[in-house]
């Protein structure tokens, strides 16, 4: 596990520049998607194809590749407490999110969307790309491991919350969870995959951030710009999501001396609302 505190102390200015550069790149793709959607609105109807590829191929490839390379016995001995801390944090955020959602709106469907958006951030499509650019594959492994409970929540209770359909138990078996366990198995076994397979996985993994951001822009282009910037409840949601929760998570980690997970926990918490509210 990376000593994040040492990295931050030694190169804080450089770190901020890298973060800013990566965020600008991601938002350029969002803007490009929005522009393309405005130029040809009919194409927005086909965004389901991008969603399908992200959920069933590209993101699973990234998760599998990361675990296959970095999940070793020595890594487990250093990080075995991470899942317990993450699960406890998830339960805490679920409670906070429910209270906040009920205070923002009385509409039941909006409450479900707000609860989902506050509980689950864009830790995967945006967070993985940002984390890898800052801390490399080792840091990305830490973040993916920390977010495993959130991944299971996403595809069970989260999916049911947004869609109102589907068996929660059946949703436990999905491409993402399968890729997690397959990646763990390959990492622990030390199995070396053929070069052709690793190339396919690597190329697929590289597509996650650009395509997910383009999908976000395309989806936003279907809404009048005025409606996106004049809803006061959206600003309240964003303030809680991007300021309140990250500060709360960071503070808890500091108070409880959870230095080993402070970076993946805070990075997960400070990401924008989860893209799956669009994908699902």
pLDDT at residue 251 in the model: 93
26-30, 79-83, 276-280 — which one is most confidently predicted on average?
26-30
Residues 1-22 pLDDT 10s: 555 555 555 566 677 787 888 8
The answer to whether residue 197 scores a pLDDT higher than 60 is: yes
Give, as one character, the DSSP assignment of residue 274. -
In the chain, % helix, strand, coil (3-state, to 5) comes to 80, 0, 20
At 171, is the pLDDT very low, low, confident or very high (cuts 50, 70, 90)? low
Q: What is the CA radius of gyration of the chain?
A: 19
For 12: left if phi > 0, alpha if psi spans -120 to 50, otherwise beta; the answer is alpha
pLDDT of residue 108: 87
Q: What is the average pLDDT across 128-147?
A: 87
Query: Above 80 in pLDDT, residue 164?
Result: no
Q: What is the reported pLDDT for 33?
A: 93
User: Span 120-141, mean pLDDT?
Assistant: 86
Distance CA(139)–CA(1), nearest Å, equals 7
Mean pLDDT of the chain: 85
pLDDT of residue 6: 55
At residue 89, does pLDDT exceed 90? yes
Q: Confidence band (pLDDT; 50, 70, 90) for 249?
A: very high
Q: Residue 194: its pLDDT value, please?
A: 93
The predicted model gives 227-256 an average pLDDT of 89
> What percentage of the chain has pLDDT greater than the value 70?
91
pLDDT of 86 > 60? The answer is yes
Q: Quote the pTM value.
A: 0.81
Would the CA dihedral through 131, 136, 142, 148 be positive or negative? positive
The whole-number average pLDDT for the span 67-83 is 84
Rounded Cα distance between 81 and 25, Å, is: 34
Who contacts 242 (Cβ-Cβ below 8 Å, separation ≥6)?
Answer: 270, 272
d(CA 89, CA 15): 26
pLDDT computed for residue 8 by the predictor: 57
pLDDT for 165 beyond 70? no
> Average pLDDT, stretch 93-120?
90
């Amino acid at each position: 596990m990376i000593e994040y505190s040492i990295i931050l102390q030694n190169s804080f200015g450089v770190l901020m520049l890298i973060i800013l550069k990566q965020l600008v790149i991601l938002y350029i793709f969002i803007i490009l998607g929005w522009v393309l959607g405005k130029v040809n609105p009919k194409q927005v109807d086909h965004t389901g194809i991008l969603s399908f590829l992200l959920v069933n191929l590209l993101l699973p490839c990234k998760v599998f590749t990361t675990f296959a390379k970095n999940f070793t016995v020595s890594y487990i001995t250093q990080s075995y407490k991470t899942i317990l801390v993450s699960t406890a944090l998830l339960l805490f955020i679920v409670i906070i999110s429910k209270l906040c959602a009920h205070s923002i709106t009385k509409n039941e469907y909006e409450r479900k969307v707000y609860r989902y958006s506050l509980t689950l951030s864009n830790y995967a499509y945006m967070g993985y790309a940002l984390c890898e650019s800052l801390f490399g594959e080792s840091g990305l492994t830490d973040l993916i491991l920390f977010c495993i409970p959130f991944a299971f929540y996403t595809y069970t209770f989260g999916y049911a919350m947004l869609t109102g359909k589907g068996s929660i138990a059946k949703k436990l078996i999905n491409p993402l969870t399968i890729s997690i366990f397959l990646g763990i198995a390959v990492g622990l076994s030390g199995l070396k995959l053929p070069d052709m397979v690793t190339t396919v996985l690597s190329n697929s993994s590289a597509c996650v951030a650009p395509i997910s951001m383009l999908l976000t822009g395309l989806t936003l282009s279907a809404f009048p710009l005025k409606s996106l910037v004049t809803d006061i409840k959206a600003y309240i949601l964003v303030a809680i999501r991007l300021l309140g929760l990250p500060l709360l998570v960071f503070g808890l980690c500091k108070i409880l001396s959870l230095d080993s997970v402070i970076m993946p926990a805070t990075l997960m918490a400070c990401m924008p609302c989860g893209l799956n509210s669009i994908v699902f």
